[in-house]
Structures are given as C-alpha cells and as structure tokens.
Amino acid sequence: MESHGGLIWAESPCSDTGKGTKLTVALPRTLMAPAQAETETAAIKGARVLIADDDPDMLRVTALVLESVGFQTSAARDGIEALAKVEAEEPDLLILDLLMPELDGFEVLKRLGERKRTGRGQTPVLVVSAIKEGSSRRRFELETKSELGADGYIEKPISPPLLLKEVTRILTERRSSVCH
C-alpha cells in the first residue's frame, strides 16, 4: 500500500462497535474512483492543511492520511516554522502538536490568538497531542487567562478515521461560516 502512496491500518477493538477489528485502507485520490473522491471532498475541495509536529513519522503518516482523500499538505517541524508558514501560506487548517522544540504549541496558540485579535487572519486549529485535553486546557487558561482557542483536539496515538472526521468537520464548519 505505501509503495502506491496509500495507507492501511487496523483498529482493535473497532472504534465504531467496540468489538472485533476494523481494517481501513486509504488510497491516494488518483487511485480512487473519480465519483467517490469527488463526493468525499466536495465540501472542502482544495483545502490546504499545515501539519506542525517535530516527529517526522507523525508528519509523514498525518500527511499520507490527509493526502489520500485529496487534501493538500505542508509541514512545519517546530512552532517558529509553523507561525511563519501560517503567515506565508494562510492554510485552511493548522494541525498542531503541543510538545515541540524552539516554540511549543501552547505559544503558537497564544500568538495565533493575538493575530486573530489584531485582524490579521483566523486559522482554525486542530490540536493533536500526547497531552490529555483537560490538562492542556487548564495549563493554557492558567497561563493566559483565556481559552485554548483550538477548534478540535485529538489525543495521540491518533486514529486515522478520527483524524479525517475532525479535519472534515472543522473545514466544513469553517466553509459554512465564511459563506454565511
């Protein structure tokens, strides 16, 4: 699968039923039937996703999962690079790890909040982190006296179907709010 640009993974127990094992295959868009690929990405066609994570394997796997259904991806290996790419590329979504060198994800969220308050843009953020969500929210609120400012949160290790579901939800909600 990987040599053809796809992914295959198993979840046990199945995330839908809590029983058995669910096997999922993700093919690159070019290998999918055109109608299937078009239907899956119609609401968010052409979405650009910036993935910020210092783990090269997480970057690769996350990009493969997203690209398999037609998203365009770019990568940042730390918070400094992530902020620079947000300014330069204005992605439709930022997937952000909280534990990174140089500038961590918490600081990136603070700076994105400042950017939003000064009218320089609003980039939706999906946090993907090994830190439990409740702990992250408490730390951020204690340090900044404000809410975390993320549009979604997934704890590592990630489930590819959950990642795709959250990315699709956030992008679809963003497109709906921009259109209205």
Question: Tell me, what's the pLDDT at 176?
Answer: 75
C-alpha Rg value of the chain to the nearest Å: 17
Question: Tell me, what's the pLDDT at 11?
Answer: 81
Question: Tell me, what's the pLDDT at 76?
Answer: 98
Task: Write down all domains in the chain, each with its CATH number in brackets.
Answer: 45-179 (3.40.50.2300)
Assess whether pLDDT exceeds 60 at residue 132: yes
For residue 81, the surrounding DSSP H or E stretch is helix 79-89
Q: How far apart are CA 123 and CA 75, in angstroms?
A: 15
pLDDT tens profile 65-79: 999 889 999 999 999
Assess whether pLDDT exceeds 90 at residue 166: yes
pLDDT band at 1 (very low <50, low <70, confident <90, very high): low
- Top pLDDT among 11 and 101 is at 101
Assess whether pLDDT exceeds 50 at residue 101: yes
Strand-strand pairing, 48-52 and 72-76? parallel
pLDDT tens profile 14-62: 777 888 888 777 766 554 444 444 444 555 877 999 999 999 999 999 9
DSSP 44: G
- Top pLDDT among 65 and 117 is at 65
Give 120-146 as a DSSP string: S----EEEEESS-HHHHHHHHHHHHSS
